[in-house]
Amino acid sequence: MSRSQHPFKNRHEAESLRTKARHFAEAGHSTQAHAFYSRLLASSPVDHEALNYLAVHARAEGDVRTACVLLQRAVEAHPSDVVAWRNLGICLLEAGDVTRSVAAWDQAIQLEPSHATSHLQRAHALEREGRHHDAAITYLRAIAEARRTGMWVSDATTPPGLRPLVQHAVNKVRVANRQLLASLMDPLIARYGREAMRRVAAMASNYVGDVKVRPADSRQRPTFLYFPGLPETPFLPRHLFDWYASLEEAAPSIAAEALDLLQRNARFEPFLGERSEATGTSYLAGRGPQVPRWDAHFFWRHGVRYERNCAAAPLTARQLDRLPLGRVPDHGPECLFSVLGPGSEIQPHTGVTNTRIVTHLPLIVPEHCALRVAGTVHTWQPGRCVSFDDTFEHEAWNRGAETRVVLLFDTWNPHLDEAERDAVARIVVAISGFNREAWETPSDGIHSEHT
């Protein structure tokens, strides 16, 4: 075979071309870089680096159709080249081939699911295709992925070239949320009356960003849903809970069931997931030689009743059934025996919403155990309930030598009436459904970490 038929048979010669092409590209000499990448591509027709560079160059020259052809060759030869898929998605959209652009972004996201800009550009393509609902939930996913890493929270954390599209994404999500909540508020107002829904409407407006209402106390930081107008009280007074008396009367029997389960090591699990994962989280820490332990025997979790666990502690389960638990389908309540091992500390954190209140019924309380909410330390007293708003920063510790056990559960904030509770439950389910579509997995929504 002559040199003209197969000019760069020698791999070394091809790599020399690549080195020169890169040198000129990095120096900003696009004409020379283009020449060397063209020669490299002639020697190796499926070289993904050359294909990508020449495609980007063609696009910069206004020839997006040539760019699309080159990038299509790149992804066919190198289907795992995520950069080529991203570039193809951009060029196809500019060429007006919206459907294929969406498909290209699908491939890019499959290769790198957490890449925020890929979700952003996919949403843009969906919007151009007229799929406005799909675009909105994909914009939401893009924003969420970026903000998980501290990006897109301000101009300083958003690349200048992306700022217009990111702001557009924020606006599209806000409009979608506004439409969603309006579709809920209208029938709620028709059912309960405008005055009865006044505070709920304020909550909805605050959630979508039409108004900005924040708690007066900086230590109160709900991570999901803030209901304006509720008393901002870290610890709630006992007189608000008329069911305390009957629950506290049953405390010795409840403690006996918890102790029996502990002694048999029956149906407990790490609250934060697998123990190796739990000890690596920011929520759980330890002092001393023992491995931190935060275990749970769940009666309810994320709104699902654990029937076998309830059967294992039937008296406790019956007592819980009599309480005004915060019932929200797929989200609440959360009820459990919470077990904190010696030397274990649950780090400061805040809860998701002030529409619910967390109550502890202390069952086994060694020395050197305490709960701190908004800077106030509370020492548990066995058999005596304590209720607090967990959207205030709080933490708990067991610095003693024995295990601490409390019965922990959610109830509705007693300052909400029945109509407001119904409205909040419906709104939470709707918002979480929207979020779930974005992630294609169950949303965290109102799920929480307690102490």
- Under the banding of pLDDT at 50, 70 and 90, the label for residue 2 is very low
Quick check: 384 and 362 in contact, CB under 8 A?
yes
Least confident residue range of 3-17, 207-221, 344-358, 403-417? 3-17
In angstroms, the CA 105 to CA 169 distance is 17
Instruction: Give the chain's count of helices (H) and strands (E).
Output: 16, 12
Residue 360 has pLDDT above 80, yes or no: yes
Reply yes or no on whether the pLDDT at 298 is more than 70. yes
- CATH number for the 238-416 domain, one of 3.40.50.620, 3.30.470.20, 2.60.120.330, 1.10.1040.10? 2.60.120.330
Q: Where are the beta strands (DSSP E) in 151-230?
A: none
Return the closest-CA partner of residue 95 out of 59, 138, 129: 59
Q: Find the mean pLDDT for residues 163-180.
A: 96
The identity of residue 378, as a single letter, is H
The CA–CA distances, whole Å, from 215 to 11, 255, 375 equal 66, 37, 16
**Predicted confidence band at 278 (pLDDT cuts at 50, 70, 90)?**
very low
What's the rounded Cα separation, in Å, for the pair 141 and 149? 13
How many other CB atoms are found less than 10 A from the CB of residue 451?
26
* CB-count burial class (<10 Å; 0-12, 13-18, 19+) for 438: buried
Burial of 441 by CB count in 10 Å (0-12 exposed, 13-18 middle, 19+ buried)? exposed
pLDDT-based confidence at residue 445 (cuts at 50, 70, 90) = very low
SS3 174: helix
Instruction: Tell me the average pLDDT across 97-126.
Output: 97
What per-residue confidence (pLDDT) applies to 440?
65
Q: What percent of the chain has pLDDT over 90?
A: 82
- C-alpha distances in angstroms, 210 versus 63, 161, 204? 43, 27, 9
Number of Cβ atoms within 10 Å of the Cβ of 224? 19
DSSP-derived secondary structure letter, 332: B
Question: Cα separation of 109 and 119, whole Å?
Answer: 7
4-19 confidence digits (pLDDT tens) = 445 545 677 888 898 9
CATH number attached to the domain at 11-150: 1.25.40.10
Task: Calculate helix-pair angle for 116-128, 163-192, nearest 10 degrees.
Answer: 70
Residue recorded with tokens 């609250």: 271
Instruction: Report pLDDT for 449.
Output: 52
Phi, psi dihedrals of residue 293, rounded to the nearest 5°: -135, 125
- The residue with greater pLDDT, 275 or 341, is 341
Identify the bridge partners of residue 186 per DSSP, sorted by sequence position.
Answer: none
Q: How much is the pLDDT for 309?
A: 97
Q: What is the pLDDT of residues 45-88, one digit of tens each?
A: 888 899 989 999 999 999 999 999 999 999 999 999 999 999 99
Is residue 352's pLDDT more than 80?
yes
Token code pair at residue 123:
């949403």
pLDDT of amino acid 450:
60
Q: Does the pLDDT at position 266 exceed 90?
A: no
User: Average pLDDT of the chain?
Assistant: 92
Is there a common fold for 11-150 and 238-416? no
202 pLDDT more than 90: yes
Where are any strands of DSSP class E within 230-286?
269-270, 284-286
- pLDDT for the residue 441: 37
CB contact at 8 A, 136 and 172: yes
Query: Where exactly are the structural domains of the chain?
Result: 11-150, 238-416
Least confident of 8-12, 16-20, 228-232, 313-317: 8-12
280, pLDDT greater than 50? no
pLDDT at 4: 44
Q: Which two tokens stand for residue 414?
A: 């007693």
pLDDT at 276: 43
* Of the candidates 151, 180, 178, the residue with the CA atom closest to the CA atom of residue 166: 151
Token pair belonging to 194: 């405008």
pLDDT at 125 over 50: yes
What is the per-residue pLDDT for 9? 56
| Widest CA span in the chain | 97
Q: What is the DSSP letter of 236?
A: P
pLDDT of residue 283: 82
DSSP single-letter state for residue 231: -
Compute how many other C-beta atoms are within 10 angstroms of the C-beta atom of residue 208. Answer: 18
Instruction: Return all residues near 339 (Cβ < 8 A) that are at least 6 apart.
Output: 262, 268, 293, 294, 295, 296, 297, 403, 404, 405
Structure tokens at 415: 């300052």
Nearest in space to 210 (alpha carbons), one of 184, 186, 175: 175
User: Mapping DSSP to helix (H, G, I), strand (E, B) and coil, where does residue 284 land?
Assistant: strand
Q: Tell me how far apart the alpha carbons of residues 110 and 118 are, in angstroms, rounded to a whole number.
A: 10
Angle subtended at Cα 191 by Cα 189 and Cα 196, rounded to the nearest 5 degrees? 55
Residue 436 tokens read as 């779930």
Distances (CA, A) of 382 to 222, 251, 257, 324: 29, 8, 15, 22
